Structure 1
């Protein structure tokens, strides 16, 4: 006789059920220490390909690999028990064909234990979403400003600012909904468009620089904690200046070492009291 236990971690169907009920709170995480701190408060944690820029100081998100993303995702999964964990598909790991996307997505989920993947792209990638979902891989779509398309978009520029662009992004979102995506990230788009897409879709929308009307919000954790340097994106809000706390602590540590105040005998082994 099998023993059934109720899973504590929020599932993909639960996230979908929050549509119209309550907002979805999500942030990024790339390492175990951050993931442990975020877990209890959030509905979803994303191991974003922003790992490339935030974690590796790369100029964009294009060069991070499947293996790197799977390793970071595994660290986040192992150090959490509550939030639904989604991992980004890196650039070049899914655009070639649905079969390529399935192989890489399945490999990342198997290696990390994450609950689903996120994939950037418009109507052209909807068939890939359908292919993955039909084979058991939950897909979080991502439309609007898509960092992996930075070269074709001409930089990190707000999207949907005219009627033609807005209609295209609406079609992108609807195509992924029809293909079976469980939710869609709306990044860097005109506020009225974010509101319009949220009202048009039966699946949740998760905004990042979109609209307060979105069914949820996601930000890069380092942006809200003051760990991203002097420039904070327009769509982000800094909720704490953790950077200054870290700097003060490190300065105090360095001074104590130089002043021979640390370590003391209490920090050593084999010392008789």
Structure 2
């Protein structure tokens, strides 16, 4: 099985990290056997699997359930599970939710969204030995307040994102996802941090890339993100499409400039 230390070693050697979402055992099997380094059990399942308009309705019970399924099918990938909306409202609720995702769901790492607000939660989890992934930029759990838009376009917000990223690392985060951040800013943040930085719609300079599995297969219901790419269109199987995605990330041909903000 892939380990955090192995991922760090790969990043230090200059190898890009390929990540994809999965929400069940079957897809987890094919994603992991196709060479994906990291599986993200994202609360995006609320939109992709459950048909909601946002990720907000997803419950902790559902996240535990889907993480369990993924880990039954997962053959080799590091597995990150999202802390769902409001499960990180306090240190106590966050630790309780993280405990369930790790103990019941068998996740290898938990991910939470936000900057300064979540620093006490990150530190508390890190102190207890829970691997933590931060998430900055576009925050899907905050779309009702901030909407779906690129983060860090102006100087002030760019400086804030940089400060938040460094704060998360100092608090004990082991990895960071940057979503919909301008490519130049994502590059600078990646260069300043010592932890792996995984981008989604944030340019090619991050240490790795993550996409929603259904997006790379061209089976997303509704609008596909501009930064995504249909890898199934040029192949003859789902496994081949996933392998093409991994190859493109590793060879740094994805994302291309047209996939950047």
Look up the match of 1:179: 171
Look up the match of 2:252: none
Q: Does the Cα contact within 8 Å between 1:98 and 1:128 map onto a contact in 2? A: yes
* Aligned pair partner of 1:85 in 79, 83, 89: 79
Q: Does the Cα contact within 8 Å between 1:77 and 1:114 map onto a contact in 2? A: yes
Following TM superposition, the consecutive aligned residue runs of length 4 or more in structure 1 with deviations greater than 6 angstroms are none
Q: Does the Cα contact within 8 Å between 1:129 and 1:180 map onto a contact in 2? A: yes
After superposition, the Cα gap between the structure-2 partners of 1:245 and 1:43, relative to the gap in structure 1 and judged at 3 Å, is closer
Query: 2:124 matched to 1:131?
Result: yes
- CA-CA distance at 1:193 after TM superposition: 0.6
* Aligned pair partner of 2:189 in 197, 200, 207: 197
* Aligned pair partner of 2:217 in 213, 220, 225: 225
Q: Give the structure-1-normalised TM-score.
A: 0.83
- CA-CA distance at 1:64 after TM superposition: 0.3
Unaligned runs of 5+ in 1: 1-8, 247-273
- CA-CA distance at 1:231 after TM superposition: 2.6
Query: 2:7 matched to 1:15?
Result: yes
Look up the match of 1:119: 112
Look up the match of 1:60: 54
Which aligned pairs between 1:1-273 and structure 2 lie closer than 5 A?
9-21=1-13, 22-40=15-33, 41-95=35-89, 97-153=90-146, 155-229=147-221, 231-241=223-233
List per-residue Cα deviations over 1:130-189 (Å, max 9, x = no partner): 100101211010001110011221x11111110011111111111110011111000001
2:8 and 2:94 mapped to 1: Cα distance? Answer: 23
Look up the match of 2:247: none
- CA-CA distance at 1:245 after TM superposition: 8.6
Q: Does the Cα contact within 8 Å between 1:26 and 1:217 map onto a contact in 2? A: yes
1:231 and 1:17 mapped to 2: Cα distance? Answer: 36
State the structure with bigger RCO (CA 8 A, min sep 6), 1 or 2. 2
Rg larger for: 1
2:12 and 2:228 mapped to 1: Cα distance? Answer: 24
1:122 and 1:108 mapped to 2: Cα distance? Answer: 21
1:32 and 1:169 mapped to 2: Cα distance? Answer: 35
Unaligned runs of 5+ in 2: 239-261
- CA-CA distance at 1:18 after TM superposition: 2.5
1:53 and 1:231 mapped to 2: Cα distance? Answer: 12
1:230 and 1:139 mapped to 2: Cα distance? Answer: 31
1:59 and 1:217 mapped to 2: Cα distance? Answer: 24
2:7 and 2:137 mapped to 1: Cα distance? Answer: 21
Q: Does the Cα contact within 8 Å between 2:137 and 2:152 map onto a contact in 1? A: yes
2:83 and 2:223 mapped to 1: Cα distance? Answer: 26
1:245 and 1:15 mapped to 2: Cα distance? Answer: 27
Q: Does the Cα contact within 8 Å between 2:27 and 2:73 map onto a contact in 1? A: no
